Amino acid sequence: MTSLRRFLIISVLSALMLVNFIAALHGYRSSMLEAENLFDQKLSEMAAQFAAMPLPNVESPPSADDEQMVFQIFSGEGKLLWRSVHAPAQIISEVPGFGEHNFNDYRWRTLSYLNPNSGRRVVVAERVDQRYRLAESVILESVVPVVLVLPVAGILIWLIIGHGLSSLGVLAGILRRKSPDDFGAIRVDGAPVELLPVIQSVNSMLSRLSASFERERRFSADAAHELRTPISAIKMHLHNVRDELPNGSDSLRSLTKDVDRLAHLVEQMLLLHRTTPDHYPAKFEKISLRSLARDAIAERYADCAAKQQTIELAGDAVTVDGDRFALGILLQNLVNNASKYTQQGGRIELRTEVKTSEVWLTVADNGPGISAEAKSRVFERFYRLGGDRHSSGASGCGLGLSIVEHIAELHGAKIVMKSGLQSRGLAVSIVFPASLRSDKALTPNAKAKKALGTSREGEQA
């Protein structure tokens, strides 16, 4: 059943129509029997009047009368004394009492009455079809309103059921407006008794979810945080051990690399937890993406210089409403990934631009790129292309793009992945919706000045 309201209305209307039909049928039959009795009583009264009235002194039948009702009057010896124009000359019924006979091409209800005082026999007859027509017209006048009132009843039932189910709509609205991190108990004022078990079950489920999320949050945050201390201690001991081991020890170098990788993993886990849209305390403000991109380049410049890579900043100076810390982490992860997986002497480009009112932030490189199949998995946690045996030899934990996805979701942005520079490598674009663009109200002159200023910039490292 797709609609509870539709089910209730159809069921109630069907039951109402069935009851009305049965009641109308019973009423019709009862009314027809009552009408038959009334018509028969009328025939009895007419027969008694004819039997008691004096006969006219005429030898021919009376003038034309109502052809729907006829009469005959016979003497005690069976001689026809008087009849109506449409009555036959022969006696219609010799059997005393009511009966039905055919004559003049119609079916007639007859009554043969014998007056015990005068010995006179009176036969009166009435057409059956006229009796039924008259009775049905009277009965239908009382049945038709019952049928016509059904649409009105349907509208009233619709409104009544809608009012009765309004609490469900209120409950659905409360649940729909709840934020993802709101696990507080819900309350519906004036909720009917039947809805209380549902509300109690939902509140119980919210309570269990809140406890579950809190346990997961504490575990991931506490585990990553607690790991910082022993890692820092290990780094300190490694620094002290360098003086005791021969210069260039391979074991020491490998151990240092692994500890750095572990520290990076812990930091990424903390960032992944902190940037989860459900509980990240975002503080949106007007941010220049170009300025933020310049800071990200400065942050990662040493890594790019170590690999003799060229990193550029191009495009327009655009401003968006966003969280500065989160967008900074997003850019650092994208630039770090591009530098890490681009070959020695490669090229990386950061571009900010406006396309059809949307703001595009793109980090592109001319490295090896990734396959179409891998693009669908790179946002999975701890997934690394090629695992630890990637051709670049770069270490990683597979959380960078998961963090990027969290931050994009926090800003309502979408992620587009295409081929990178010179149709090689990878280009990751963060597309911010037009609603986040904070420079929409710029005048044409202001935009022209911005474009002129942008065209003069040629930042290259």
Q: What domains can you pick out in the chain, each with its CATH number? A: 4-159 (3.30.450), 193-274 (1.10.287.130), 282-460 (3.30.565.10)
Both tokens of 108, joined, read 């007639």
Q: Which residues pair with 437 in a beta bridge?
A: 320
pLDDT given for residue 393 in this prediction: 52
Q: What is the pLDDT of residue 244?
A: 72
Residue 284 has pLDDT above 80, yes or no: yes
Residue 98 has pLDDT above 70, yes or no: yes
- What pLDDT was estimated at residue 449? 38
134 vs 448, residue with greater confidence: 134
- Give first-to-last CA distance, the chain, whole Å: 65
What mean pLDDT do residues 326-342 have? 89
What is the helix, strand, coil percentage profile of the chain, to 5?
55, 20, 30
Task: Flag the least confident range among 32-41, 121-130, 406-415.
Answer: 32-41
411-417 mean pLDDT? 91
| pLDDT classification of 414: cutoffs 50, 70, 90 | very high
| Structure confidence at residue 362 (pLDDT) | 93
Task: Report the candidate in 322, 332, 318 with the shortest Cα–Cα distance to residue 283.
Answer: 322
Question: Which CA distances in Å does 149 have to 16, 17, 146, 155?
Answer: 11, 11, 5, 10
| pTM, two decimal places | 0.49
Please give the DSSP secondary-structure letter assigned to residue 109. E
pLDDT at 134 over 70: yes
Which one-letter amino acid corresponds to residue 296? A
Q: Looking at the predicted structure, is the pLDDT value of residue 96 above 50?
A: yes
User: In the numeric block, which tokens belong to residue 60?
Assistant: 């021919």
DSSP state of 66: -
Is pLDDT of 329 > 90? no
Dist. CA 349–CA 353, nearest whole Å: 13
Sign of CA dihedral 394, 399, 405, 411: negative
User: What are phi and psi for residue 287, nearest 5 degrees?
Assistant: -130, 135
Q: Give residue 41's region: left, alpha or beta (phi > 0; psi -120 to 50).
A: alpha
Residue 70: φ, ψ to 5°: -130, 165
Give pLDDT, residue 451.
37
Give 221 or 226, the one with higher predicted confidence. Answer: 226
Would you state the pLDDT for residue 275?
67
pLDDT at 56: 65
Condensed to tens digits (0 to 9), the pLDDT of residues 345-377 reads 999 999 999 988 899 999 999 988 887 777 778
Is residue 446 pLDDT above 50, yes or no?
A: no
401: closest CA among 305, 304, 336?
A: 336
Q: Is the pLDDT of residue 18 over 90?
A: no
- The pLDDT assigned to 116 comes to 78
Residue 224, pLDDT score: 64
Tell me what the mean pLDDT of segment 401-423 comes to.
88
- For residue 73, the SS3 value is strand
At 97, list the tokens.
Answer: 């009492």
Instruction: Inform me whether the pLDDT recorded for 447 exceeds 50.
Output: no
pLDDT value at residue 238: 78
Residues 6+ apart with CB under 8 A from 153: 13, 16
Tell me how far apart the alpha carbons of residues 9 and 3 are, in angstroms, rounded to a whole number: 10
141 vs 25, 28, 190, 361, 378, CA distance in Å? 14, 11, 45, 78, 77
Q: Which of 415, 288, 400 is nearest to 341 (CA)?
A: 400
State residue 348's pLDDT score: 92
For 87, phi then psi, to 5°, come to -85, 140
**pLDDT(195) > 70:** yes
Q: In this structure, are strands 69-74 and 80-83 parallel, antiparallel, or unpaired?
A: antiparallel
Query: CA 250, CA 222: separation in Å to the nearest integer?
Result: 33
pLDDT of 160 higher than 70: yes
- pLDDT band of residue 274 (cuts 50, 70, 90) is low
Q: What does the pLDDT average to over 266-285?
A: 71
Q: What is the mean pLDDT of the chain?
A: 77
> Which residues in 330-425 belong to E strands, given as ranges?
347-355, 358-365, 414-419
CA 39 to chain centre: 63
What is the three-class DSSP state of 320? strand
Does the structure show a pLDDT above 70 at 443?
A: no
CA 83/CA 60 separation, integer angstroms: 9
- The SS3 of residue 176 is helix
